[in-house]
């Protein structure tokens, strides 16, 4: 009798743990695929470009001849194009995005906020290729007819707005990237501003601040670091933006000061030339372009994560205190 009882107890205490172990290992394996993907992407791009890296070395990044026929490959015009178009995008998108975020969290009437947020989410959902289509057939003709001549008339004396205005240009590429990154800058900034403790606002209002003064002194300056993080996150997206830019930037590998001149970005050259790579070295050079693009975007994204993370933990601890 006691023996039977004991065996019953053991049965109760030790049900089969096989299912639990198997399920845990299964989910662990799936989670580890994330690590595998990071390794895979780095290894594949490195492996694919190792010949080009050995052959050109540092010159790949510092020379500007891109001549597949002569097998001369220098990525400088693409790096330049990527950086400048992203910079133009930031100049346009950062003030607009942060002002909109401030409007959405601090200044707007309550009833308008949710519909606006939904519209911004819808803008984020528009595929890149469709924005590019709109860019080719609507935005570029409009830019060529109205803003470009105007810019040329007033700022034509600077090297940035001189030369012929065909339409497809670095400036057009920057504007289309700005449209693409506005939703992410706005929505991340909005989250940041929302995480600013209400005590900040209450203190400012208690001192007699107007709505704008409270926003500027108590909210925006408090959230400075997080907003910077949002901007860097936007920059990360801007650098890797492909289809829309490819369709409007003009795709000419040159380094021109004028923003009216066509340019080329790292992502666009991949999109345009990858299937045309006829020789081994050409393909290797394109893989190396991919490696450079990955390197730049990962660095920028790491910085963004760092900025956004420290802010949220800090504001969280402050809120708790």
- Give the residue, chosen from 137, 146, 150, 154, that forms a contact with other proteins under the rule CB under 8 A: 137
CB of residue 192 vs other proteins: minimum separation in angstroms? 11
Tell me how far apart the alpha carbons of residues 156 and 161 are, in angstroms, rounded to a whole number. Answer: 5
Pairing between β-strand 72-73 and β-strand 66-67 as defined by DSSP bridges: antiparallel
Which one of the spans 68-76, 148-156, 230-238, 313-321 is the region binding other proteins (CB under 8 A)?
Answer: 230-238
Question: Per CB under 8 A, does 51 bind other proteins?
Answer: no
Answer for the pair 132, 246: CB distance below 8 angstroms, yes or no: yes
- Does 257 help bind other proteins (rule: CB under 8 A)? no
Residues 6+ apart with CB under 8 A from 179: 123, 131, 244
Figure out which of the listed residues 179, 231, 307, 311 binds other proteins, where binding follows CB under 8 A. Answer: 179
Which of 6, 8, 37, 199 binds other proteins (CB under 8 A)? It is 37
242 binds other proteins, rule: CB under 8 A? yes
Q: Which is nearer to other proteins, 229 or 258 (CB)?
A: 229
Q: What is each CA distance from 282 to 53, 66, 163, 186, 247, in whole angstroms?
A: 12, 10, 32, 40, 23
Are residues 87 and 174 in contact, defined by beta-carbon separation less than 8 angstroms? yes
Binding string, 184-223, against other proteins, x = CB under 8 A?
x-xxx--x------------------xxxx-xx-------
Residues 277-316 contacting other proteins, CB under 8 A? 286-287, 290, 293-294, 297-298, 300-302, 304-305
Rg of the chain over Cα atoms, rounded to whole angstroms, equals 26
Torsions phi, psi for 295 (to 5 deg) = -60, -50
Is residue 1 involved in binding other proteins (CB under 8 A)? no
**Cα–Cα distance measured from residue 297 to residue 300, given in angstroms and rounded to the nearest whole number:** 5
The answer to whether 166 contacts other proteins (rule: CB under 8 A) is no
């Amino acid at each position: 009798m006691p023996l039977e009882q004991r065996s019953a107890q053991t049965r109760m205490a030790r049900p089969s743990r096989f299912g639990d172990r198997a399920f845990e290992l299964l989910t662990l394996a799936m989670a580890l695929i994330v690590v595998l993907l990071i390794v895979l992407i780095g290894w594949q791009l490195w492996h694919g470009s190792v010949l080009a890296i050995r052959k050109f070395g540092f010159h790949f990044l510092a020379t500007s001849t891109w001549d597949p026929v002569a097998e001369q490959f220098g990525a400088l015009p693409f790096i330049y194009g990527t950086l400048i178009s992203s910079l133009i995008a930031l100049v346009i998108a950062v003030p607009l995005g942060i002002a909109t975020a401030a409007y959405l969290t601090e200044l707007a009437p309550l009833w308008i906020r949710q519909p606006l947020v939904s519209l911004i989410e819808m803008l984020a959902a528009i595929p890149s290729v469709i924005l590019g289509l709109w860019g080719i057939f609507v935005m570029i003709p409009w830019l060529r007819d109205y803003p470009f001549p105007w810019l040329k008339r007033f700022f034509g004396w600077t090297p940035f707005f001189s030369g012929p205005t065909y339409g497809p240009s670095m400036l057009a590429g920057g504007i289309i990237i700005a449209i693409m990154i506005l939703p992410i800058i706005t929505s991340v900034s909005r989250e940041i501003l929302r995480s600013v403790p209400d005590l900040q606002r209450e203190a400012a209002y208690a001192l007699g601040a107007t709505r704008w003064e409270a926003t500027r002194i108590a909210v925006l300056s408090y959230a400075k670091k997080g907003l910077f993080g949002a901007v860097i996150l936007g920059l990360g997206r801007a650098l890797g933006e492909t289809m829309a830019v490819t369709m409007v930037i003009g795709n000419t590998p040159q380094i021109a000061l004028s923003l009216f001149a066509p340019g080329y970005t790292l992502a666009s050259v991949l999109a345009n030339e990858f299937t045309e790579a006829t020789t081994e070295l050409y393909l290797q050079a394109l893989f190396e372009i991919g490696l450079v693009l990955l390197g730049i975007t990962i660095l920028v994204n790491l910085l963004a994560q760092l900025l956004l993370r420290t802010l949220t933990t800090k504001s969280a601890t402050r809120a708790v205190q």
